[in-house]
């Protein structure tokens, strides 16, 4: 299991418990950026691609000279990247070689309920399970991760997360940067004990609220070291051309506001081309990119505007100490540009409230239920229970969901139903599956329930809030 790592000092912030590493951390920007390997199918038959993944413990070198025990898909963190074509069924066989139950959820997938990774639908230690993904959906940056009831936080923290990209003809036809100029950036924060092991507070629920367990882990676990694709504050040498970065925030509880330091002398720092559920209708320019847990931002950065040899740091304006840095780019060579920024990216029909056949409200707050003397995180005052259905949208309809955060911010994810955000307007445009609510804020999202009937969840993607019951069920009828 997980331990608190003894020597580690913890402090609390409103965002959660910040864990301090006692291991020797490397100088920032000395470790090269790794890119998770793209996994080829083990076989292809009748238009279906078959993959196999073994979930197992492994000792890997994250901090130079130290070993870290991870729980990885095929023993690596992040796991291998799976790539699928739109509409081409992908079957992933997961072997559980860990000594705990696991659940796999394809985040952002339009997946039948029996393959969606319902939190109690576990793979026992030693067992095998095939997840079948029709992937009848637009090209997008999806990701897969553990979703075990009450234990998602610790199991993802130990490494159970990876990318699953969907590609399609619409996106292929665009002149976007490709090959080594299309780079995924998976952001996580971690804390390390002196021997290099990950530090995560005890997850034995019976310990919660007992004397000695003082820090408020329930608010979220934050590390003091930022990893990109599993490497601490890495560095990437780039050519003086445009790159495409698919940014995923796979952190348990940390939000980032990304910026470039220095910003380019002219033009925007980032040109956003895609969101959680694929391409936007048209590119959007940003000086900074706020990214909450589980969100994806697909952005272009043009390094031709910098001088040769220049160092450009990807910074986190919300960070403290070590987490104010994310990674560094070094403009290392000239290169010929073969990409362009298309004025139009995709056709997206904007939904309006008149498309909605029902309106529902979900309030996310701490309160309404207790366990071991601690107040749980709840949805509409109820802690998660597999037997309670909070909404019954009809297949093929659109509903207006009002999501409200009391007390603190919550990033809310809805399974199956992709949505357009009406408010806040900073999200206007594109299809999403996760929306960040500031404390006291309300978001209005128009959710499309397409594909399958059955029971799915919506929940907070602060994984400690999720494990402390901030999850509800809906049944598509
Ligand atoms: Cu990324 Cu229900 O989760
Ligand atoms: Cu939350």
Percent of the chain with pLDDT over 70: 93
Ligand 2 midpoint to CA 439 (Å): 10
At 437 the pLDDT is: 94
Q: What is the CATH number of domain 353-476?
A: 2.60.40.420
For residues 369 and 376, is the Cβ–Cβ distance under 8 A? yes
Q: Where are the domains of the chain?
A: 28-168, 179-333, 353-476
Which fold, 28-168?
Answer: Immunoglobulin-like (2.60.40)
Q: Is the CB of 465 under 6 A from ligand 1?
A: no
Give me the phi and psi of 439, to 5 degrees please: -55, 130
Lowest-confidence pick of 220-234, 235-249, 258-272, 427-441: 427-441
Atom of ligand 1 nearest to the CA of 117: 2
Q: Is the CB of 145 under 6 A from ligand 1?
A: yes
pLDDT band at 205 (very low <50, low <70, confident <90, very high): low
Q: Is the CB of 415 under 6 A from ligand 1?
A: yes
Q: Is the CB of 238 under 6 A from ligand 1?
A: no
Find the mean pLDDT for residues 62-73: 98
According to DSSP, the residues that pair with 230 across neighbouring strands are none
Residues 351-382 have pLDDT tens digits of 999 999 999 999 999 888 887 777 888 999 98
User: CB-hemisphere CA count at 13 Å for 423?
Assistant: 11
Q: Is the CB of 296 under 6 A from ligand 1?
A: no
In whole angstroms, what is the distance from residue 185 CA to residue 291 CA?
12
Three-class secondary structure of residue 58 per DSSP = strand
In whole angstroms, what is the distance from residue 441 CA to residue 86 CA?
35
What is the SS3 string spanning 225-291?
EEEECCEECCEEEEECCEEEEEEEECCCCCCEEEEEECCCCCCCCEEEEEECCEEEEEEEEECCEEE
Atom of ligand 1 nearest to the CA of 294: 1
Residues 315-362 have pLDDT tens digits of 999 998 789 999 999 999 999 999 999 999 999 999 999 999 999 999
206's CB contacts (< 8 A; 6+ apart) are 372
Handedness of CA 224, 226, 231, 237 (dihedral sign): negative
Residues 407-456 have pLDDT tens digits of 899 999 999 999 999 988 777 679 999 999 999 999 999 999 999 999 99
What ipTM was predicted for this assembly?
0.99
226's CB contacts (< 8 A; 6+ apart) are 187, 188, 189, 232, 233, 316, 319, 322, 323, 325, 326, 327
- Ligand found nearest the CA of 409: 2
User: Which of the four CATH numbers 3.40.50.300, 1.10.760.10, 2.60.40.420, 1.10.1740.10 does domain 179-333 have?
Assistant: 2.60.40.420
- Ligand found nearest the CA of 414: 1
* Residue of 49 and 428 predicted with greater confidence: 49
């Amino acid at each position: 299991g997980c331990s608190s790592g003894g020597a580690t000092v913890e402090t609390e912030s409103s965002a959660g418990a910040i864990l301090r590493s006692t291991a020797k951390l490397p100088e920032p920007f000395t470790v090269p950026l790794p890119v998770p390997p793209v996994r080829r199918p083990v076989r292809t038959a009748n238009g279906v691609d078959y993959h196999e993944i073994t979930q197992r413990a492994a000792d890997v070198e994250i901090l130079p000279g130290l070993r870290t025990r991870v729980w990885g898909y095929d023993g690596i963190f992040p796991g291998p990247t799976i790539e699928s074509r739109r509409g081409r069924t992908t079957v992933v066989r997961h072997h559980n070689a860990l000594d705990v139950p696991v659940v796999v959820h394809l985040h952002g997938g339009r997946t039948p309920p029996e393959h969606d990774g319902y939190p109690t639908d576990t793979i026992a230690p030693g067992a095998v399970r095939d997840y079948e993904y029709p992937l009848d959906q637009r090209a997008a940056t999806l990701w897969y991760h553990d979703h075990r009831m009450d234990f998602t936080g610790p199991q993802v923290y130990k490494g159970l997360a990876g990318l699953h990209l969907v590609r399609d003809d619409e996106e292929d036809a665009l002149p976007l940067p490709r090959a080594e100029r299309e780079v995924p950036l998976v952001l996580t924060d971690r804390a390390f004990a002196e021997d290099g092991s990950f530090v995560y507070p005890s997850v034995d629920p019976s310990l919660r609220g007992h004397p000695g367990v003082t820090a408020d882990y329930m608010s979220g676990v934050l590390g003091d070291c930022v990893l990109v694709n599993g490497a601490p504050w890495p560095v990437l040498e780039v050519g003086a051309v445009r790159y495409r970065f698919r940014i995923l925030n796979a952190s348990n509880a940390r939000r980032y506001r990304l910026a470039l330091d220095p910003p380019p002398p002219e033009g925007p720092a980032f040109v956003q081309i895609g969101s959680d559920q694929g391409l936007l209708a048209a590119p959007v320019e940003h000086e900074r990119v706020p990214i909450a847990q589980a969100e994806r931002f697909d952005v272009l950065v043009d390094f031709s505007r910098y001088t040769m040899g220049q160092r450009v740091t990807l910074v986190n304006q919300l960070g403290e100490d070590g987490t104010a840095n994310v990674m560094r780019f070094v403009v290392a060579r000239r290169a010929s540009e073969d990409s362009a920024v298309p004025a139009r990216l995709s056709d997206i029909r904007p939904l309006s409230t008149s498309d909605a056949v029902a309106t529902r409200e979900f309030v996310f707050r701490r309160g309404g239920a207790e366990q071991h003397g601690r107040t749980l995180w709840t949805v509409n005052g109820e802690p998660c229970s597999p037997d309670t259905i909070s909404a019954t949208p009809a297949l093929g309809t659109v509903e207006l969901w009002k999501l409200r955060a009391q007390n603190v911010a919550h990033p809310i994810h809805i399974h199956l139903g992709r949505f357009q955000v009406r408010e806040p307007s900073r999200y206007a445009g594109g299809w999403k599956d996760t929306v960040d609510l500031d404390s006291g804020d309300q978001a209005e999202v128009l959710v499309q329930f397409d594909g399958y009937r059955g029971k799915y969840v919506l929940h907070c993607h602060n994984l400690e809030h999720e494990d402390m019951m901030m999850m509800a069920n809906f049944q598509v009828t």
